[in-house]
Amino acid sequence: MKKVIIFLVSGVILTLLIALLLKKKPSETPVVPTLDSTTKVQIFNATDSSVTVWITLGATPGCLQNANHIPFVVDTLGSLVGSFVLNAHDSTIAYAPDSLGYNGVISFNTQPINCATAEFPNGVNIYEFIINNGFQEGNPQETMDISCVAGVNCFIRVNMSGGNDWNASSRIPKVQSIANGDISHNSGRAGVFPYSCDSCITMYQPPVCDTIDTDKQKHNICNVQRNAKDSKGGLIKVIYMGQNQPL
């Protein structure tokens, strides 16, 4: 009988000790996982052929200014220009530099050029962006667009997910995807500067070889943006959809 009582007392004590060990102190607060508020860019090749991707960085204070620091860049021309080959149906990692803004231009199969050439008879379009620039003074905006001002050599689609909403002015308060058409079919497309229309709705100072603006936007919807100081991060997928002319 004594042994049974001893075992019962021991069991109660053990249960109390476990309860005390598991019990949180009154001052403790639940641990909340830290959310990543960095906006990242991932580049995709949606075609059956490899493509050379060019990244040209902007010389913007507080933003990355060395293409060698981009982990998937293989070749560089100076510090601001890098390139690499992206295989068919492949993608890069989602990337943004640590503790820096990210500003630049992405183009496919060539560096950006202003005028048509024998190799690119319809010119070249580019994806332009600045993200993670909340450190800038005033009311900085994370901003992006597809510029067909100097022509079109390929189709680009950009999908945005996560973080706060992107907008193309109050006229289009929520934008989740942008994509360009061919050289004469970009009017009405949010986030796209049409051929020759460096001011979106008209020609201002386009490349000297641009002479027409018949595809201009009716409204200022060429830039897609959101507040950079409170963007809450997210992912930008820049997708190469294929060429628009022989290479």
- In tens, the pLDDT along 113-146 reads 999 999 999 999 999 999 999 999 999 999 999 9
CB contact set of 125 (below 8 Å; sequence gap of 6+):
107, 146, 147, 148, 150, 151, 152, 153, 154, 156, 180
R_g of the chain, CA atoms, integer Å: 26
Task: Please give the Cα distance from 239 to 180 (Å, whole number).
Answer: 11
Show the tokens assigned to 148.
Answer: 């067909």
pLDDT digits (tens, 9 = 90+) for 163-209: 999 999 999 999 999 999 999 999 999 999 999 999 999 999 999 89
List the one residue out of 60, 63, 52 whose CA is nearest residue 90: 52
What is the distance between the alpha carbons of residues 118 and 239, in angstroms, rounded to a whole number?
A: 25
> Tell me, what's the pLDDT at 10?
45
**pLDDT tens-digit map of 45-82:** 999 999 999 999 999 999 999 999 999 999 999 999 99
Looking at the chain, the whole-number percentage of residues with pLDDT higher than 70 is 85
Confidence at residue 35, expressed as pLDDT on a 0 to 100 scale:
56
Residue 160: alpha-carbon gap to chain centroid: 7
- The whole-number pLDDT of residue 30 equals 42
Domains belonging to the chain, first-starting first, are 33-243 (2.60.110)
Model pTM greater than 0.95?
Answer: no
Spatial CB neighbours of 55, under 8 Å, sequence gap ≥ 6:
67, 70, 73, 81, 82, 83, 104, 105, 106
